[in-house]
Structure 1
Amino acid sequence: MVKNRLPLAAMLRKPIFSLIPRPRRVRKQDLSTVRTILVMRSGGLGDVVMSTPMLEQLRKLFPRVEITYLTGRASAAVLSEPLVNDVIDFDDQIFIRKKIAPALKLASRIRKRHFDLAFMLDKHWIFGLFARLCRIPIIIGFDRHGEGFLYNLAIPFTGSKYEGQYYCDLARAVAIIKGVELEGHNGINYPPPPLAVEGCKPILYPAKKDIIWADKTASEIRKFRLQRLIGIAPGGASNPGQEFALKRWPEERYLQLVKMLLDKGYAVAIFGSGRADLRVSRSIIGRLERNRSLVHDFTGRLSILQSTALMKHCDLFITHDSGPTHLAATQTKTIALFGPTPSRRFAPENAIVIEKSLKCQPCYTLFGGFKKGCKRPACMRGISVEEVFDVAEGVLG
């Protein structure tokens, strides 16, 4: 396994940050007057999905508090009641491109809401500064190599475990201060009934209309009642302002996998969003010599929660590390293909992970982004179609 050596900038930042006076620590009496909470997470769809267990724990800790989630427009649609009361979205490019004027305007907008408590789920110190500009009295976040100096409570972040567990750690830290026990899943009674989960496993709540639509669609696309439906997402792996093509399993492998699934009589549903994903799905379908009627392409046609509702009807979902991985894992059995990114940090806890153990992986760093020099990742190309198909057959029985 590759050691995550710290960039020179990170090594220099820590001693500098340590000289800055820290805000006062959070006390139990500070939390007794909390009426409004802001949770912020920029980044990709999967990042927001992984934070949903924390939202449920906050509901248990603060049952009468209004929770607002601040996130980029690309991910906002995945959030709904009862997880949050409100969602504020913003242009993802504000923080990616370091646009100062729009960031100050957004801070002014947040400041007018007078939030009592904020949870900052991004690790970079710039988000601590943003929270201070919003004038939120209590701010809780992560300390990644000294970057939590602006928070009233900073939890160490080392990237050594599942990302969702870190988010839950923030809620648990507050629980300790409040003297409240948190035992796994909150079990909010809200239709539709979620999968039975515990610990820090994500959960989503599609609307009733999305569930009705998914039920009808699933019954229509199966040629016969007992036909197995396999979902795949061959595109994705793109966050706002970031293209993570290294995480993708090659398109040719997906094509061969689809052919093998069709030859076994399975129906296949393709999921994705955006033009790039649509090009991939059309390319795969266009090269099928037979059984095209068993392939159903939903790329770019569904909302996030519609996709989630339909994924529940898949007997199995297969994809690489991407947003659909996290959506599918909340609904059905999921095979997740991992390579450059560490599965211990990003793989859903209930997913079946297929990955190689090469000396060069993972090459995704603690500070985001990949180490230079890898253009054709052997870790992803080393995962064979036969291996994935055999695992799928084992899961399907």
Structure 2
Amino acid sequence: MNNTIYVRTLKRAEHTVFCVADGQKSYYDAQFNRRIPFSSGQQVKRSLLESLCEELNLIPSPTTFIFDVENKKNIKEAEVFGTCDPSYPDQLFGGWMKAGKGGKERTLKRRSPLSISAMRALHPLLAGMDSNKGEAGSFDRSDRPNNKVIIRDASGKQLNETEIETLLQIEGNADRSLTRKWLNPADRATGLFVMDIAIDLRRLFTVSLNSLEPEMTDATIEKLKAEGWVAGKNVFGPCLVAPVELRESWIKALAKAIVNWKITSNQARTFSLMDTLALAISGNANLIAGSIRAKLSEEDSNKANPIIDETLKGVEIFITLNAGGYIQTAGEKADALDKAEQKLIEMMKAFDYENRKNNNNI
């Protein structure tokens, strides 16, 4: 069986804002002389992981915000750390990076088993932007009750609640939110967009025990062992493998999230369903690229036609009813996404995690 599952998703966006850090991000296509909107892979990943936690009915892992205070009054930009604990599904599947200030602690990093592309135009002629500078977005974590806010003075001492309240009374700090950042206004995006995911099954439910490039603290390792994670070894070296019960539950939630994620940072006035038109699944990266594509019109070089290829061997295509309004296809099904979800579950469950845990078939 292949070690990697490739998924290509085709979505339609209508007059919306993806709400990324610099407003509606875009890139310039030199061949077609157009500026094309896109959503970063990081934003797609966050939306997917939020859908995963929602399906499991779990609060996403807490985020720690560490602030320093300069000259006893100016709050500097925050350092932001995750938990580096794979017992949270968004951490296990999302990966992490924690590099402490000043190099006083070991850097912890885990490569995500999900490689996620940007969501970009299916073709430069099939997506575009219209300008509207009237609305702004936000990077908002204020809805999570388990955030940590740490403010430090110039000597590195952590302020207590009374000192923080006093600091926030100073002019310039009084109306400041510590768990929300405002983003610039943005243009609108419309068109057909495609994104790709590669699921590395070898990393999906394992965390490395390599002490030279640590992924976790010793305390986290002992905690996982107590929760039923089992020591093993795979192609990347010594590791811990998630217990079967956890895998069964999280595979179902991950499949649903991959099929049904939405960009959740849309503001009310720019909301779009971003409905999925088609989804392709394969173990072959080259074939997946050709399964959902576009082709220039032979009659008009300024026109491109979207194509869903239902004939490729080695690729399974799932086409929704909405696709018929935008693409010539005969394979639309009302339950297409349900079948795609089930296919992903079957492929992830079929992977021989246990043998790799026992050093066989590495």
TM-score range, shorter chain: under 0.3
Does 1 or 2 have the higher relative contact order (CA < 8 Å, sep 6+)? 2
Hey, which of these two has a bigger chunk of helix by percent? Answer: 1
TM-score, normalised with respect to structure 2: 0.25
Structure with more of its chain in strand, by fraction: 2
Higher-Rg member (1/2): 2
